[in-house]
Homo-oligomer: A and B are copies of this chain.
Amino acid sequence: MHRVGRKVATDKGGQTKTRILETALEMFQQRGYEQTTMRAIAEGAGVSLGNAYYYFHSKEQLIQAFYHRTHEEHVSATHSALAEESDLKARLLEVLRLKISTLEPYHEFAGVLFKTAADPHSPLNPFSEESDPVRQESIQLFQQIVEGSKTSIPADLKAELPYLLWVYHMGIILFWIHDSSPKHKRTYRLIDHTVDLVSRLIGLGSNPLMSPLRKRALRLVADVRDVAGEDLIDDEPEDEGVEAAEEDATSEPTA
């Protein structure tokens, strides 16, 4: 409990752990996720089946480890570009492109990434409280993109932007997974077009005239961000939930 550095000298455990992960990723890359069995991974890494489970509580956890690792690769690949460029649009563009090229070797396998990300209990899920470190870290990168840029953005939007961009980037990845065009041209094109669109939207949203609309939209986003959270009861509990719509502040009919 008190003594810390004991295994630190050799770190046998850590070594086996990475050996297992390494083997797993390699096999995932070649045979795909479903085709790769835990037994095969264990054998490939030269350990027993039970031992693999000692380090990774489930097969799914290997995916998270994968996501974490590629995330770190991405961050370091992104480092120099973020240091030089200060234009928000250019930063975003570069970061997204690098994300795709980082994931490149795993295109075949990456499908499962989303199958698990959509799972309500997965930490990669866009909703539910963002307690998980993986997601936090991932969102932080987009915070850096925003913070480090010269573009001036209203405080409220600036606060929500990292999360929004993260969701956007997840969408790009989802597209890429299905993109079977040569060299994933369509994905890169989509990035070009949407980054342009997004940066325009940010510009628009920063316009003082847009303030009321922006505030309205941001309230919505904040509301959506963590559904799993508290059970806010700001209304009388007597309510069918299916017939209270025609009252609303801050709204004037348009259509």
Known: A175-B127, A194-B220, A200-B255. A241 touches B183 (CB 8 A): yes
Given the known A-B contacts A203-B254, A255-B200, A255-B202, are A241 and B118 also in contact in the complex, defined by CB atoms under 8 Å? no
Can you spell out 8 A-B residue pairs with CB atoms less than 8 angstroms apart? A93-B245, A114-B119, A182-B233, A183-B239, A183-B241, A186-B227, A194-B220, A197-B216
**Which of B97, B199, B228, B241 is in CB contact (< 8 Å) with A180?**
B228
- Whether A180 contacts B227 by the Cβ 8 Å rule is yes
Q: How far apart sit A231 and B178, CA to CA, in the bound complex (Å)?
A: 12
Most chain B C-beta atoms within 10 Å of own C-beta, residue among A88, A128, A188, A248: A188
Across-interface contacts of A189 in B (CB, < 8 A):
223
Task: Tell me whether A255 and B197 are in contact (CB under 8 A).
Answer: no
The verdict on A117 contacting chain B, using a C-beta distance below 8 Å, is yes
> Known contacts A128-B178, A180-B227, A180-B228; is A241 also within 8 Å of B204 by CB?
no
Assess the B111–A241 pair: CB atoms within 8 A: no
- Chain A contributes a number of interface residues (CB within 8 A of B) equal to 65
Interface 0/1 of A187-205, CB less than 8 Å to B: 0111011101101101110
C-alpha spacing A255/B239, complex, angstroms: 45
**Which residues in B have their C-beta under 8 angstroms from that of A91?**
none
Q: Which of A158-199 contact B (CB under 8 A)?
A: 174-175, 177-186, 188-190, 192-194, 196-197, 199
A84 at the interface (CB under 8 A from B): no
Contact with B along A240-255 (1 / 0, CB 8 A): 1110110010010011
Question: In this assembly, does A2 line the interface, its C-beta being within 8 Å of a C-beta of chain B?
Answer: no
Tell me if A237 and B182 are in contact (CB < 8 A).
Answer: yes
Residue A120 interfacial (CB < 8 Å): yes
A255 touches B88 (CB 8 A): yes
Determine whether A58 belongs to the interface, using a CB cutoff of 8 Å to chain B. no
Which chain B residue shows the least CB distance to A121? B111
CB of A251 within 8 A of CB of B178, answer no
- A83 close to B (CB within 8 Å): no
Taking a contact as CB atoms under 8 Å apart, the answer to whether A248 and B119 are in contact is no
- The interface residues of chain B lying within 8 Å CB-to-CB of A11 are none
Q: Is A115 an interface residue (CB 8 A)?
A: yes
